[in-house]
Structure 1
């Protein structure tokens, strides 16, 4: 497991200053006269990007800072979110407008999955949500490159215990192969959506290769070797978006699953590739693994907050109460009582005809109107000079490749050995 405390101390000047102050106090130094940073250094720290992508747009940086500050609030500190089934107006109506009809509130965040059927015409619903003050989170549910004929459903493997292929075959600098071509095509489609949203001024909270510490997806942990190269593939996605496509309207979200197969941080790409750590969790009582005695040797909450990154529930919902009987208030109750660092919850749309969406759960009115919960009308991260219904449109290389960098240029991270 990555030793996150060391990375945090290295990357955050505030932590370094605090440590220096403590050291000075222990050594009897008169701290009142100490100046830790000169005027130029202080100005540099105040303007230095806090995002994983050093070239992230001002809006992306402002949004991340807002998430970092949410746990310090007395109220309005947890973003509400709902995944829709596909990027279409019909899906938006079914999951979002139905919730509004019942509660009078739009969720602050809408989540989508990039699938093969997506077209650019669909994204207008996301752009509209953004311009009305909302947030966007996105994941990719990619076809298995070794089983492309089965489409998006092949993301799940038939036998989680079976040996998985080497993900390094898919990297930008790997030899050409049918599998690599399938993967790069899916990656390009995701990049197209990120680009279109960026041209509209939107920031995307991107969750690539979610639940990689689990064994149920083709990119997940190989149970025979207890490893996968998901870390390398995540970094490859990062470099494709930020360097090859030169898109900088992204917050990078590492989203592990519950640690049934491997600890949450098993495949953490490193702090320089991650803005937020947002695990998925499905449990009727919204307890993460590690809370119930004997359930897991890991403590998922303790692990994710050790990164020092803003945290949230990247996906959540009930585990057995899948008929609409789940008490939606459980989400905010558990955050208040057990997981106060959580900055958002993002409820899944459901699967196999199960009821999971907020619009059909019990007591959702109380959840959406809880003083801690941020709905779309309460999102307040935007700089005061920017109207809530619009954002500064990125220009030049912030949203598309520059003339000196072809779209298909290969920019490569270091590969784990």
Structure 2
């Protein structure tokens, strides 16, 4: 295990050096990180946090790692839809295609209570046509499950929050724990359903936990939370209890208003990609403007050595369709060259945030740096994927039947 972790840290250090080199203007194409023999070895060794990750998951992660070294086609475009339905896909994705002639490379969805397995068809179709899929969970507060998805936000961010350790697989039974495990099972069902079709999922659990606005976020009284433990619990639930190996794990902090971006970073061995959220008309991360924050969010996330992206992004005040979408790629090109993807949110209420309804989206989607669905090129040149040829198992043993679901609880390695 120590040798395995040491190897990962070496690769992470190399990735971090690439990111910092991009920020400092180094010509990355001329860097020689490995000799020919070492390079061939790196192409076959596992690189994902889950050592049993499918060959396709490993290939997707390697692809993200090398995107900052390119001269063009180096930033994946993404758009969140508001639920997993064909109508939502039409509203946010097909409307974008009608306007620009381009599909976003990545489509994002949120697991909700009403999800059914039949709903995944639109995501599987997007994947089979060359796209990528990212998934997050917006869970109801397990101490207030009757509140539904809206209870994810806390009424008073400064109020004391419950102890998240009560939700862990190894904790004593309780109503909050049961409510949380039921939501976690639904997330596992979606990952499993997508995996059965060969889909690699960029899984973004417990996003923005360094903020105080969600029930799983930072407790502003004690200035801490057990989010690391809960994130690791999700990791072990997916990879070991459910034995699903088609996920890449995305740590997604919020802007550091309440705590630094890496306050609750679960550890390199549990993270594949780091993708903070940022909502700002100029898409400047905290630390860029004098006096705005004592933290430098970009410097912090670069220091992990992981591939980076904007897990969520959009304007902060120009929410009427007047936002210049070209700001995204301009800011990445000029300020944040290590960023490998952007993922625009779908908006809320009457607020316009999606790409299809903002200004200059055509220019953004046709920028030489931007990867649209037709330009995704992580797959082998013959067009087949590792799982389509070898059918590497996503579930390493037969999944439980609908009436007899029983999963092995794996004790997380809790270290703080």
What does residue 411 of structure 1 align with?
A: 410
Moved more, 137-146 or 7-16: 7-16
1:367-397 superposed Cα distances (whole Å, 9 cap, x missing partner): 000000000000000122443899457454x
Contiguous gaps of at least 5 residues in structure 1: 1-6, 20-35
273 and 194 in structure 1: CA distance in 2 versus 1, 3 angstrom threshold: same
- Superposition RMSD in Å: 2.4
What does residue 186 of structure 1 align with?
A: 183
Distance 2:331 2:120 in 1: 33
8 Å Cα contact 1:133-1:388 kept in structure 2: no
Deviation at 1:13, TM superposition (A): 5.6
Correspondence 1:161 to 2:158: yes
337 and 401 in structure 1: CA distance in 2 versus 1, 3 angstrom threshold: same
149 and 322 in structure 1: CA distance in 2 versus 1, 3 angstrom threshold: same
Moved more, 66-75 or 7-16: 7-16
Correspondence 1:342 to 2:343: no
Following superposition of structure 1 onto structure 2, how do residues 124-143 of structure 1 map, counting pairs within 5 Å?
A: 124-143=121-140
8 Å Cα contact 1:279-1:312 kept in structure 2: yes
Choose which of 225, 228, 235 in structure 2 pairs with 1:238: 235
8 Å Cα contact 1:244-1:401 kept in structure 2: no
Distance 1:327 1:202 in 2: 32
Query: SS where residue 12 of structure 1 aligns?
Result: helix
14 and 56 in structure 1: CA distance in 2 versus 1, 3 angstrom threshold: closer
What does residue 399 of structure 1 align with?
A: 395
Distance 1:43 1:103 in 2: 39
Choose which of 137, 144, 148 in structure 1 pairs with 2:145: 148
Deviation at 1:416, TM superposition (A): 3.9
Query: SS where residue 186 of structure 1 aligns?
Result: helix
Deviation at 1:346, TM superposition (A): 0.1
101 and 43 in structure 1: CA distance in 2 versus 1, 3 angstrom threshold: closer
Deviation at 1:401, TM superposition (A): 3.8
408 and 42 in structure 1: CA distance in 2 versus 1, 3 angstrom threshold: same
335 and 234 in structure 1: CA distance in 2 versus 1, 3 angstrom threshold: same
Q: Which runs of 4+ in 1 moved over 6 A?
A: 7-10, 36-39
TM-score, L = length of structure 1: 0.89
Distance 1:361 1:13 in 2: 39
8 Å Cα contact 2:201-2:247 kept in structure 1: yes
Following superposition of structure 1 onto structure 2, how do residues 312-391 of structure 1 map, counting pairs within 5 Å?
A: 312-387=309-384, 391=388
8 Å Cα contact 1:111-1:138 kept in structure 2: yes
Deviation at 1:12, TM superposition (A): 1.4
Correspondence 1:210 to 2:207: yes
Query: SS where residue 162 of structure 1 aligns?
Result: coil
219 and 358 in structure 1: CA distance in 2 versus 1, 3 angstrom threshold: same
46 and 336 in structure 1: CA distance in 2 versus 1, 3 angstrom threshold: closer
8 Å Cα contact 1:132-1:388 kept in structure 2: no
Following superposition of structure 1 onto structure 2, how do residues 1-400 of structure 1 map, counting pairs within 5 Å?
A: 11-12=9-10, 45-387=42-384, 391-392=388-389, 394-396=391-393, 398-399=394-395
Q: Larger Cα Rg: Structure 1 or Structure 2?
A: 1
Distance 1:298 1:38 in 2: 40
Deviation at 1:408, TM superposition (A): 1.4
37 and 379 in structure 1: CA distance in 2 versus 1, 3 angstrom threshold: closer
Distance 2:387 2:375 in 1: 15
Distance 1:176 1:275 in 2: 31
1:229-249 superposed Cα distances (whole Å, 9 cap, x missing partner): 111000000000000000000
Deviation at 1:48, TM superposition (A): 1.8
Distance 2:11 2:115 in 1: 42
Deviation at 1:412, TM superposition (A): 1.5
Distance 1:42 1:112 in 2: 35
